[in-house]
Structure 1
């Protein structure tokens, strides 16, 4: 059984960002478990790698960019959270809650908003220095 550390979680986030930017979705989905549950509770729910791959591939052919901001990880429960800015079809600012098992992402729940502002302007006075 693979147990991630906080540093491993941050490395996983960096790997996700790199693969999204490269639009290498076939490799990216292998970071998720075969039975992954991926959702924005108000907008979509995807079950399994095949659905996730189709979702990622529907990128309008645009460049993809992910910037991670604050991230926390609880090694005991293999659960993490990270704020992000994602640029693709739109600019999204949000947070993802992530659960892992054996080093793979089993659950990904994101809450995000479309907003063209830069992260610092978006979060305003709540910005973490």
Structure 2
């Protein structure tokens, strides 16, 4: 039996978007509540650290009040950690050099399984994962 990898498809209809939104709100607020409990921090203490009312914190953590990225960042900072949001970003395959001249690259080698993040600047391609490349490029 063939194993077919499902590719990402953007959510199309309103129900899927609403579900994804509610799922995100639920997961973020639950993670914050677990963090508070694990670290013995009350909603009242979180409100004090943020300079907000306890009712504001209750509304945000229940999902009844919209939490902006700014307010999420403020909450995380007051709890002593940096927030992280992961967005799937496609990496570009390494281009094959076809000539000895710096910056001249040919077709992308699709059989190359190793992928690295590249920075393209005009005709140069800089491999961000190789510290020696930064020295050479500078």
Q: Please indicate the TM-score interval, normalised by the length of the shorter structure.
A: under 0.3
In proportion to residue count, which structure has more strand? 1
Between structures 1 and 2, the one with greater helix share: 2
Structure with more contact order per residue of length (Cα contacts < 8 Å, sep ≥ 6)? 1
